[in-house]
Amino acid sequence: MPLFDLPPSELAGYLGDLPEPEDFDAFWERTIAATRALPLHLALAKVETPWRLVDTYDVSFAGFGGAPIKAWLTVPAGATGPLPAVVQYHGHTRGRGFPHTDLLWATAGYAHFSMDNRGQGSGSGGPGAGTPDPDAAAGLPHAPGYLTLGITDPETFFYRRLYTDAARLLQAAAATELVDPARIIVTGASQGGGIALAAAALAAHVDVDLLGVAADVPYLCAFPRAVALADRRPYDEVTAYLAAWRDRTETVYRTLSYFDGALLGRRASAPALFSVGLMDRTCPPSSVYAAFNRYGAHSARPVEKSINVYGHNGHEGGGDYQTAAQAEFFARLVHQAARRSHG
């Protein structure tokens, strides 16, 4: 699998040509405000598991349009809080899975939220996944998958609902007694990485000041570049759609621009750790760099950010190497927050 994108020297400063709609901020302010006006309906129910070193809670909260969204909350056994929290978003077709699907961050001492992706979940299996999407644009033509579902209008696009769910989970996490609302970190890989960038941008709209962001080989970034280069799902869903609906190119890319992680990330200000695989044909390196290089650009203060580069890896990225880097990054942020709180 050879290098196929720009050389590293050009990637380092790559921004991409990403037109931004004039009503970008107004669209998201209105979208989040409409869901915030609805009751949160946060509910936690402790579940029995054979995993004695952690406690697990079945979480439900009202996401976009008030639809019930599921998540797992896992904490160290016996924890009473308030704990630093890691909010994790999942990849394409993934969901929260089983209560034991991911115990990693709880064993490191965090309150770990694992959110279901509405309408997805088939890729991870298990009865815990499978939160439905009652607002799906049923009957509208789209390519198989999610990237063109409702794509003729930002109001009906699938990711409007999913990004709002992600922001709403931050509101729910901050309202949970086990969580310290001043120490919330978001993370995710692939689609989860793109959602994490969106959540970082939208956190202020739900009055959450994020402690950090970890976006691992993020999807949903620099759409025009990614679609032009990627030869596999999910980006090729756009290619398939436009191959059939040849007159909708402008409409499709305008809709996608509202949901571009490279544009949303400009609004974020939390310290960020990215990763990229230079042989990644699913999320081309230049699309990741466009998001990284633009991240925090609208912030009034300098934003800490770094990117780990895996030169011989594809969409698997750094794997356990990146997990170890994230653990170190999270621990440093939590330590710094503790020092600040103690003067």
Contacts of 338 by beta carbon, 8 Å cutoff, 6+ apart: none
What is the rounded CA–CA span in Å between residue 266 and residue 259?
A: 12
Q: Give the model's confidence band at 124: pLDDT under 50 very low, under 70 low, under 90 confident, else very high.
A: low
Q: Provide the pLDDT for residue 139.
A: 65
Q: Is the pLDDT of residue 180 over 90?
A: yes
**Active-site option among 114, 269, 280, 287:** 280
What is the rounded CA–CA span in Å between residue 47 and residue 59?
A: 10
What integer is the mean pLDDT of 135-142?
75
235 CB neighbour count, 10 Å cutoff? 23
Q: Is the pLDDT of residue 128 over 70?
A: no
Q: Give the model's confidence band at 135: pLDDT under 50 very low, under 70 low, under 90 confident, else very high.
A: confident
Least-confidence region, from 10-19, 114-123, 150-159, 310-319: 114-123
Cα separations (Å) of 282 from 256, 290, 307, 323? 17, 15, 18, 20
Q: Is the pLDDT of residue 343 over 70?
A: no
Please indicate whether residue 269 is annotated as part of the active site. Answer: no
Please indicate whether residue 306 is annotated as part of the active site. Answer: no
pLDDT in tens, 202-232: 999 999 999 999 999 999 999 999 999 998 8
Instruction: Find the DSSP H helices in 177-319.
Output: 191-202, 223-229, 236-244, 249-257, 261-264, 285-294
Which domains can be identified in the chain, with CATH numbers? 8-341 (3.40.50.1820)
Averaged pLDDT score across all residues of the chain: 94
What integer is the mean pLDDT of 118-126?
74
Q: Provide the pLDDT for residue 1.
A: 60
- Output the CA torsion sign for 144, 113, 268, 202: positive
CA-closest candidate to residue 235, choices 138, 145, 142: 145
Q: Provide the pLDDT for residue 126.
A: 60
* Secondary structure of residue 270 in the 3-state scheme: coil
pLDDT in tens, 261-294: 999 999 999 999 999 999 999 999 999 999 999 9
What integer is the mean pLDDT of 242-260?
97
Please indicate whether residue 315 is annotated as part of the active site. Answer: yes
Cα separations (Å) of 137 from 120, 144, 284, 328? 14, 13, 28, 41
**Active-site option among 190, 269, 275, 287:** 190
pLDDT in tens, 78-106: 999 799 999 999 999 888 999 999 999 99
Q: Provide the pLDDT for residue 273.
A: 98
What is the rounded CA–CA span in Å between residue 343 and residue 333?
A: 16
